[in-house]
Amino acid sequence: MADFYHAGAITTFHRLGRPKTERLVAELELYSLARPIALVLPALCTDVRSDAMKGIVEELKGARFLREIVLALGPASDEEFREVKEFMSTLPQDVTIIHTGGRRISELYRTLEEKGVSPGQDGKGRSAWTAYGYVISSGRSSVIALHDCDIQNYSIELLERLCYPVVSPTLDYVFCKGYYARVTDRMHGRVTRLFLAPLVRALQRMCKDRPFLDFLDSFRYPLAGEFSMTIDVARINRIP
């Protein structure tokens, strides 16, 4: 799907020509002074130990446009939590590790359940939701970006291009989702092609005039694990 087709009500930003990466980075660093950026990383301990994560951390060391990094650690022992904390301590940004399986966070989840505000079952959605809550409550950032921790060919350019449309004051975007062509000798995107797209289009036929379904159907790569958004969107979005 490496073409220039636009569908529905959203914009697809294509990488045309030879992008001036230095200019983009300079502008991003300038804009982030007024609109600080937090990066959320949902991860398991096995993710942190992987070669992919080592490469991600090396790339993030040069990301001067990031104000803070919040890693939401899935089920892990206290010893594994300390291991992850030490691993992430080499980064120059403000780094916070949220132990979602730890005693204090577990007590918080129980309290929310008792009050009828369920954060959902354990998983990536709840981890992301918890990290967003931390970022919002800390009040240090205006934009939240998220990506997975298993990207083998990670480059900081991915994060720069992901954040720029939301951070730039010359654009009017509040949400940006990752999109990239996957052209190899294999058929990629099976879940999207065989499950998600037919499901959404079946719902469109059954439920006429549902703008949200049209919105979902507009994404080129709806299951991409990378996106950025403003704090205001994070407040109202049903993350899980």
Taking the C-alpha atoms of residue 122 and residue 118, their distance in angstroms, rounded to an integer, is: 11
User: What topology is assigned to 21-179+224-236 in CATH?
Assistant: Spore Coat Polysaccharide Biosynthesis Protein SpsA; Chain A (3.90.550)
Q: 3-state SS of the chain: helix, strand, coil percent to 5?
A: 45, 15, 40
The pLDDT of residue 12 is above 90: no
Picking from 83, 96, 80, the residue whose alpha carbon sits closest to that of residue 130 is 96
- Asked if residue 189 lies in contact with residue 181, where contact means CB atoms within 8 angstroms, the answer is no
The pLDDT of residue 1 is above 60: no
Percent of the chain predicted with pLDDT > 70: 96
Picking from 108, 168, 162, 163, the residue whose alpha carbon sits closest to that of residue 133 is 108
Report pTM. 0.90
Taking the C-alpha atoms of residue 68 and residue 38, their distance in angstroms, rounded to an integer, is: 5
For the chain, where do the domains classified as CATH 3.90.550.10 start and end?
21-179+224-236
The pLDDT of residue 165 is above 70: yes
Task: Please say whether the dihedral angle defined by the alpha carbons of residues 60, 52, 77 and 99, taken in this order, is positive or negative.
Answer: positive
71-104 confidence digits (pLDDT tens): 999 988 999 999 999 999 999 999 999 999 899 9
pLDDT at 2: 55
